[in-house]
Amino acid sequence: MPFGAHMSIAGGVSKAFARGEQVGCEAMQIFSKNERQWAARPLPEAEIAAFKAEQARSGIGPVIVHDSYLINLAAPADELWEKSMRAFADELERCALLDIPYLVTHPGAHTGSGEEAGLEREAVALNRLFDEGVGGTTTVLLETTAGQGTALGHRFEHLARLFELVPHHDRMAVCVDTCHIFAAGYDIRTPTTYAATFAEFDRLVGVDRIKCFHVNDSQKDLASRVDRHAHIGQGFLGLEAFRLLVNDPRFRSIPKIIETPKGDAMLEDIENLTLLRSLVAL
């Protein structure tokens, strides 16, 4: 069962593996560039080689990339939409160079144009990139969102609609964030509500499309639509939700990545990962 955490790439993408080893990662998530900037220097050949060598040495995998928070493929404004497409294309190509299987992205925000218009805008962008073969075989993982502001992806119907609009199903799957779905109104705290939530997901999207979990507790209560991560068992979700998840046989082999708050020493990552592993029934 691959547990892991989001790791810093300070000093180069290859440096993430030593940090991942330090906290006990079996899988790992990174940014491939500075996530707060549009521009990114090309990955040097030496750094690409070092990344692949470090992955082989450490055995950490899969490695998943999260795209820049600036990107909004659902933007109605043409300038931002085109800029976002160029940036997302670069993210895909960086993943291809590093042999990264999955690129996580939020489905964007409609910024007032309406949910259907935003989803259609997102789909046009994805179809254009996939039609052009950008990123090779890298799979885009649509991440469930909390639904802050005009963000899309907080209803399972949004994801289902994108799969309707984008026929490239070999290039698209889902990343479920436990904090986000809870904040969006999907309860997973009891066996009954957990089963109901994933039955609804399966009916609309298909649980076979889940390729990654972001495993985070929530600082805010059910249906708050506020995205604030908390340490495992210390938020409104509580331990039982995570016990149910890590013991669900459907998801045993799916990477489970924490994105919980941490300091420079990353002791919190060690504590959260140790706690999650302790919940697994032998």
Does the annotation mark 35 as catalytic? no
The domain locations on the chain are: 3-267
Residue 62: is the preceding peptide bond cis (ω within 30°)? yes
Of 187, 259, 268, 271, the active-site residue reads 259
Of 26, 90, 227, 269, the active-site residue reads 227
143 is in an annotated binding site: yes
Q: How confident is the model at residue 1 (pLDDT cuts 50, 70, 90)?
A: confident
Q: What is the pLDDT of residues 225-247, one digit of tens each?
A: 999 999 999 999 999 999 999 99
| pLDDT at 98 exceeding the cut of 90 | yes
| pLDDT at 282 exceeding the cut of 80 | no
Query: What confidence score (pLDDT) does residue 51 get?
Result: 98
What class does CATH assign to 3-267? alpha beta
Q: What is the mean pLDDT of residues 189-211?
A: 98
Of 189, 214, 231, 243, the active-site residue reads 214
Does the annotation mark 90 as catalytic? no
pLDDT > 90: what percent of the chain? 98
Q: What is the pLDDT of residues 168-199, one digit of tens each?
A: 999 999 999 999 999 999 999 999 999 999 99
Query: What confidence score (pLDDT) does residue 125 get?
Result: 98
Of 91, 177, 217, 269, the active-site residue reads 177
Answer yes or no: are the C-beta atoms of 52 and 16 closer than 8 Å: no
| pLDDT at 57 exceeding the cut of 90 | yes
Does the annotation mark 66 as catalytic? yes
Q: How confident is the model at residue 272 (pLDDT cuts 50, 70, 90)?
A: very high
Q: How confident is the model at residue 94 (pLDDT cuts 50, 70, 90)?
A: very high
Average pLDDT over all residues of the chain: 97
Query: What confidence score (pLDDT) does residue 39 get?
Result: 87
Q: What is the mean pLDDT of residues 51-59?
A: 98
Of 94, 121, 161, 180, the active-site residue reads 180
Does the annotation mark 154 as catalytic? no
Q: What is the dihedral of CA 178, 64, 250, 177, to 10 degrees?
A: 10
110 is in an annotated binding site: no
170 is in an annotated binding site: no
Q: What is the pLDDT of residues 121-133, one digit of tens each?
A: 999 999 999 999 9
Structure tokens at 282: 């032998």
Closest CA to 74 of 113, 131, 26, 132: 113
Q: How far apart are CA 71 and CA 88, in angstroms?
A: 7
Does the annotation mark 194 as catalytic? no
158 is in an annotated binding site: no
| pLDDT at 60 exceeding the cut of 80 | yes
pTM (predicted TM-score): 0.98
Answer yes or no: are the C-beta atoms of 33 and 40 closer than 8 Å: yes
154 is in an annotated binding site: no
Does the annotation mark 177 as catalytic? yes
259 is in an annotated binding site: yes
Of 19, 94, 106, 155, the active-site residue reads 106
Q: How far apart are CA 105 and CA 173, in angstroms?
A: 11
